Amino acid sequence: MGIREELEDLYGTANMTSGEALFFKNVHGTPAFRLEVPGEHLEFAYGTYIGKDPHGDLYFRRDELDKLKKGGLVDASFSVKQVVENSGTFTERTYAHVKFYVPGSDTILGEFLARDENRQLSDSGIRQETLITGGTWEDAIWTHSSGQVKKSGAQFDIVCDGLHLTGGFTCDGALRQSQIHRAAEGVLNVRNHAEDVVNEGKMVRWTGNNLVFYKDTNAKVVSAYFSLSNETDPGQLGTDERGEIQYNDVKWTYHGL
């Protein structure tokens, strides 16, 4: 019996839902992990970054999962393990296996399992088979709409007519001196209601093809993120830098109907 079959037997298929994970290591070598569970309107974050790979399933205990849906952040711990299966019935399979624990307890709340043939878990540098603290659960209902990033001098703006939002910040350095000849397309993803982000966006980090907006300067909670389209070259925004660029004093305006 493989690990997936073991989890299905343990939790039952009624207590299973799909999830999108990200195992990540930034340019400073700091590991991060994020799991979005849209069917339960929840997400888990440890060193928050935006991404949705690999795709997998969360197996959970319903009573414990429902306790997380009370609003606000819930501190929690977790552990990870790279699992490799090999038998005579199938070729080698590599999984990312994550165990989540009930806050303040060593009781397992649920387990996430995803195929990870590229071994992103190992590459992220997250310590394996060790209890890790500092993660958080939070209610997460996301709204999505297409938008554009535009730059004029030192001013960067994200314009999303579908959500009636415009967000901007002032850039510096080489980014400030660059010129953009056309707008960069992408998708703006906003937590909860679009108008709420006006009072929540405090800081932005540009990581790869994502501009991630946080509620505070400690980068603890994401309020929104803008994902550039795959066809967009970051050079359009004036730099080929694919590491992290951070700016504070983000200003959002909401243009209601």
Q: Where do the structural domains in the chain lie, given as residue ranges?
A: 3-139, 142-254
Whole-number pLDDT of residue 178: 58
Domain range 142-254, CATH class? mainly beta
Whole-number pLDDT of residue 8: 95
Phi and psi dihedrals of 11, rounded to 5?
Answer: -100, -25
CA distance 211 to 189: 10
Q: What is the pTM of this model?
A: 0.74
Residue 157's nearest CA partner among 222, 234, 254, 250 is 250
Whole-number pLDDT of residue 86: 82
pLDDT digit string, tens, across residues 53-110: 788 999 999 999 998 887 678 899 999 999 998 866 667 889 999 999 998 899 999 9
